[in-house]
Amino acid sequence: MLEVVLRSLGVLAAFLVLPLVVGQTEHKVMAHMQGRLGPMYAGGFHGWAQLVADGVKFVQKEDITPRAADRWVFKLAPAVALVPYLVALAVIPLSATVVAADVGAGVLFVLAASAVGILGLLMAGWSSANKYALLGGMRAAAQLLSYELPLVLSVASVALAAGTVSLTGIADAWHPLWLVWQLPGALVFLIAAVAELQRPPFDMPVADSEIVMGPFTEYTGLRFAFFLLSEYAGIVVMSLLFAVLFLGGWRGPFSGVLGPVWTLLKGALISVLIIWLRVSWPRLREDQLQRLAWLVLVPLALAQLALTAGWVVLSSP
């Protein structure tokens, strides 16, 4: 019982710390990529506590529910968006032994959890009784439906190659050669993950130059902060998932001792890559977005799946 409590607390701590680390990294990396310094004051050393200060500010803000809004759905939406990522984080292994809950079908679990998180956006978009929020919610729904498929297909390819759907099993079966022949799948996964997270260049649902803030338009205070937190928690989950699935997770020198460090390091690299993409690339238009998903990613993922299947069949005794 004590162990369960400790593991849960560990996940909760990771859930509260890692997204903030990613957020702070985004602040600083994006600033320096734009020739700025970013936050410099909060906490003293290079503004390390900026997001903590932001959190304190969010708590103080008034929690407004629009009069025309559907109250219950409106209030529930941030939780629906946030909790699935917390649950998903619990099953992602940092090493063969460091994992909060070793679920047999771990990959499916993470994908299912992130799929549920999408509902939070839809609920927020609809219940705000705001046309911009509704438009954002619809864009989110269309985008997430399209990119769910390549995401699942590319994960299926890895699972096929490893012969298991357990995350620890996949990372154990990983081989450096995967970097070559699973590369298309990895690219598809990365692009689809960025699209699932609605990060630029796929931030059509929250395109602030067109529809204010999409589904979050009417949100204030802590509930808005929960949506932001869920975005960064999503980056953490997807980056760690990429590291475990495609980069071998805890493989590396001294993996016996430094296993979790390797996983976190690889995940951090992917997070920085996601931030880098945000700074560098312009936003895709809605039709370009759909075109990319259905005409490029899905065929690519299917081809990867066929390649993997052929390899597995030919190489198995």
CB 213, CB 206: distance < 8 Å: yes
DSSP E strands in the chain: the ranges are none
> Least distance from C-beta 75 to other proteins, angstroms?
13
Residues 6+ apart with CB under 8 A from 197: 231, 234, 235, 238, 274
Say whether residue 197 binds other proteins (CB under 8 A). Answer: no
Quick one: the chain helix, strand, coil %, rounded to 5?
75, 0, 25
Say whether residue 202 binds other proteins (CB under 8 A). Answer: no
The correct pick among 212, 279, 307, 312 for binding other proteins (CB under 8 A) is: 279
The correct pick among 93, 125, 150, 200 for binding other proteins (CB under 8 A) is: 125
The correct pick among 22, 82, 94, 123 for binding other proteins (CB under 8 A) is: 123
Q: Which is nearer to other proteins, 156 or 229 (CB)?
A: 156
Say whether residue 296 binds other proteins (CB under 8 A). Answer: no
CB 284, CB 168: distance < 8 Å: no
| Nearest Cα residue to 230 out of 78, 128, 87, 108 | 78
Place of tokens 């609809």: 126
Q: What distance in Å separates the CA atoms of residue 150 and residue 145, rounded to the nearest whole number?
A: 10
Q: What distance in Å separates the CA atoms of residue 64 and residue 172, rounded to the nearest whole number?
A: 49
User: In this chain, which stretch among 8-16, 171-179, 278-286, 309-317 interacts with other proteins, using CB under 8 A?
Assistant: 278-286
DSSP string, 82-147: HHHHHHHHHH--SSSS--S---TTHHHHHHHHHHHHHHHHHHHHHHT--HHHHHHHHHHHHHHHHH
> Least distance from C-beta 32 to other proteins, angstroms?
5
> Least distance from C-beta 209 to other proteins, angstroms?
19
212's enclosing H/E stretch is none
Say whether residue 42 binds other proteins (CB under 8 A). Answer: no
Q: Which is nearer to other proteins, 14 or 103 (CB)?
A: 103
Say whether residue 64 binds other proteins (CB under 8 A). Answer: no
> Least distance from C-beta 38 to other proteins, angstroms?
9
The correct pick among 8, 9, 13, 32 for binding other proteins (CB under 8 A) is: 32
User: In this chain, which stretch among 10-18, 44-52, 93-101, 120-128 interacts with other proteins, using CB under 8 A?
Assistant: 120-128
Say whether residue 309 binds other proteins (CB under 8 A). Answer: no
Separate counts of helices (H) and strands (E) for the chain: 13, 0
| Nearest Cα residue to 62 out of 219, 230, 227 | 219
Residues 158-187 binding other proteins (CB under 8 A) are 164-165
Say whether residue 137 binds other proteins (CB under 8 A). Answer: yes
The correct pick among 22, 82, 152, 156 for binding other proteins (CB under 8 A) is: 152
Q: Which residues bind other proteins (CB under 8 A)?
A: 29, 31-37, 40, 68-70, 73, 103-105, 108-109, 111-113, 115-116, 118-119, 122-123, 125-127, 129, 134, 137-138, 141-142, 144-145, 148, 152, 164-165, 276-277, 279-281, 288
